[in-house]
A and B are shown apart, each in its own frame.
Chain A
Amino acid sequence: MIYLGGWEEIGFGLFRALQLIFSGDPEVLRITLISLRVSGTATLLGAAIGIPVGASIALRRFPARTLLISVINTLMGLPPVVVGLFLYLMLSNFGPMGFLRLLYTPEAMVLAQLVLVAPITAGVTLSAVSNVDARLKEMAVSLGADPLQEVRIILREARLGLLTAVIVGFGSAISEVGAIMMVGGNLLGYTRALTTAIVLLTNQGAFTEAIALGIILLGLAFAINILLTYLQLRTKAGLFAAETERHHPVT
């Protein structure tokens, strides 16, 4: 047999990926669902924290604001293994949060990814909201908006950037391995996600299967991006219209 280098594995991996997807391999399905559930939850929680935090910093002036921005920018680049190590120490039996019995659970994985995702979502939100034209911000006030209405109008103006914040958050969660490996433990059927499975398979020399999972991971990220972008485009005009129903008049 002629040795083709890595290309051979990649070729077989592609084939194997299609095989695994279309045969509905239960183990792959379970691993994929764990990844989706953990990273999806971390992304949503990250957005629930990151968007309000990022927007508040962008819209308010307060002491230590610059310092806070620097902190967020630094946290955006947190190395996952460091987060994993820190949470491992916190959550382990002898750690301060050991009583929660979270180590090696999917919840611990969500927590780890949340720590990674929230600053990223906050940072991208911060820049998106800051970039809304100052004249538009003033126009919202001039039109009579109260502070809450003003924030809504500005966030709607920044909606593409907010979507980017969520997408980037999800991308970093689903592709992350170091943190969930340490606090999740890579237990089959419980805490084994796509990325941790890939690492394991690679260590075992099962390159074809590893590549197959890699392709599923990539496809998944792509599909979610398409979905979010589609939703975004569809609601583009609808968002302002939806405001009327939820509207509360202020005297």
Chain B
Amino acid sequence: MALRNASLSVNKGEILAIIGPSGAGKTTLLRLVNLLIQPTSGLILFNDVNTSGDDKHQRSLRRQMSLVLQYPALFDTTVFNNVALGLKIRGCPETVIKEKVDNMLAVVGLSGFEKRMVKTLSGGEAQRIALARALVTEPKLLLLDEPTSNLDPKNVSIIEDIVRAANTKSQVTVVLATHNLNQAKRLAQRVAFILDGEIVEEGASKEIFEQPKDERTATYVDGRMIY
């Protein structure tokens, strides 16, 4: 059982950071929310809709979310085809796809990269393409699983800027799983601390980092927790 007692909610339009040590269950939580795995018990609501149900129901909900992983997970084809894939899957007309992909590449600062094979991209570029692929479908919910842990500081700040802009301009709700406490402080309004598959504490970012109620949270945010 990777997760227990994981009662957590994210409000529309906010950025929620999920922090916790390795193996705490952050990735599992995001995969549950993305409906890639099913909970053995309990309930996941998306926009007040119960997410449990048949494939079709789950797919229609899943198409309102996007996931970015620590590893870009791009398909072996061009940049354009990767960014366009989610739109193609949704049956978007080609001219619309072209326009949206162009705009999105501009947003991530990679205009002109359309025809490049993704194998030729640097790690930072590849991750920005993964983010572009996630945002181009205009998701209501963006799930980020340690999206910058393999990147240099410059790309980290580029990606954080894009996420922040998407959140403020398009009101995308964001759930960010991260080891990086500073990133959580920089981006999130609310923070949840997860340990051994349990949500220990959740609250406003300031509260969690400055006045945590739980002793374990305090140890973790102080960097005193050995794991």
Q: In the complex, are the beta carbons of B90 and A144 less than 8 A apart?
A: yes
* Contact indicator per residue, chain B 112-139, by CB within 8 Å of chain A (1) or not (0): 0001010000000000000001000100
Q: In the complex, are the beta carbons of A157 and B62 less than 8 A apart?
A: no
Q: In the complex, are the beta carbons of A144 and B89 less than 8 A apart?
A: yes
B12 within 8 A of A: no
Interface positions, chain A 141-166, Cβ under 8 Å from B, are 141-147, 149, 153, 156-157
B7 within 8 A of A: no
Separation in Å of the A59 CB from the closest CB of chain B?
A: 15
Interface positions, chain A 231-245, Cβ under 8 Å from B, are 236-237, 239-241, 243-244
Given contacts A157-B75, A157-B76, contact A146 B59 (CB under 8 A): yes
A60 within 8 A of B: no
Bound-state Cα–Cα, A145 to B66, Å = 12
Bound-state Cα–Cα, A251 to B61, Å = 11
Bound-state Cα–Cα, A165 to B60, Å = 36
- The main secondary structure of chain B at its interface with chain A is mixed
Bound-state Cα–Cα, A139 to B70, Å = 12
- Chain A residues whose C-beta falls within 8 Å of the C-beta of B115 in the assembled complex: 237
A61 within 8 A of B: no
Q: In the complex, are the beta carbons of A241 and B81 less than 8 A apart?
A: yes
Bound-state Cα–Cα, A133 to B133, Å = 18
Q: Which of B62, B67, B85, B91 contacts A153, CB < 8 Å?
A: B85
Separation in Å of the B61 CB from the closest CB of chain A?
A: 10
B73 within 8 A of A: yes
Given contacts A142-B34, A144-B63, A251-B60, contact A156 B75 (CB under 8 A): yes
A82 within 8 A of B: no
Q: In the complex, are the beta carbons of B36 and A141 less than 8 A apart?
A: yes
- Chain B residues whose C-beta falls within 8 Å of the C-beta of A143 in the assembled complex: 66, 85-86, 89, 133, 137
Separation in Å of the A121 CB from the closest CB of chain B?
A: 22
Minimal Cβ-Cβ distance residue in B for A146: B59
Q: In the complex, are the beta carbons of A250 and B62 less than 8 A apart?
A: no
Minimal Cβ-Cβ distance residue in B for A237: B78
Q: In the complex, are the beta carbons of A249 and B73 less than 8 A apart?
A: no
Q: In the complex, are the beta carbons of B97 and A244 less than 8 A apart?
A: yes
- Chain B residues whose C-beta falls within 8 Å of the C-beta of A250 in the assembled complex: 59, 91
- Chain B residues whose C-beta falls within 8 Å of the C-beta of A147 in the assembled complex: 55
Q: In the complex, are the beta carbons of A244 and B75 less than 8 A apart?
A: no
Bound-state Cα–Cα, A156 to B90, Å = 18
Q: Which of A237, A240, A244 contacts B94, CB < 8 Å?
A: A244
Bound-state Cα–Cα, A135 to B89, Å = 18
Interface positions, chain B 13-52, Cβ under 8 Å from A, are 31, 34, 36
Interface positions, chain A 192-241, Cβ under 8 Å from B, are 236-237, 239-241
Q: Which of A135, A239, A247 contacts B69, CB < 8 Å?
A: A135
Q: Which of A135, A142, A240, A251 contacts B62, CB < 8 Å?
A: A142
Q: In the complex, are the beta carbons of A142 and B67 less than 8 A apart?
A: yes
Q: In the complex, are the beta carbons of B88 and A243 less than 8 A apart?
A: yes
A8 within 8 A of B: no
A138 within 8 A of B: yes
B71 within 8 A of A: yes
Bound-state Cα–Cα, A135 to B69, Å = 9
* Contact indicator per residue, chain B 187-219, by CB within 8 Å of chain A (1) or not (0): 000000000000000000000000000000000
B77 within 8 A of A: yes
A136 within 8 A of B: yes
Bound-state Cα–Cα, A147 to B54, Å = 13
Q: Which of A141, A144, A237, A251 contacts B81, CB < 8 Å?
A: A237
- Chain A residues whose C-beta falls within 8 Å of the C-beta of B71 in the assembled complex: 135
The 10 closest A-B pairs by CB, nearest first: A249-B91, A240-B81, A144-B63, A139-B73, A143-B86, A240-B77, A142-B67, A144-B89, A135-B73, A244-B94
Interface residues of B (CB under 8 A from A): 31, 34, 36, 55, 59-60, 62-63, 66-67, 69, 71, 73, 75-78, 81, 84-86, 88-91, 94, 97, 115, 117, 133, 137
Q: A135-B69, A240-B81 are in contact. List 7 more A-B contacts (CB 8 A).
A: A146-B59, A153-B75, A156-B75, A156-B77, A236-B77, A240-B77, A244-B94
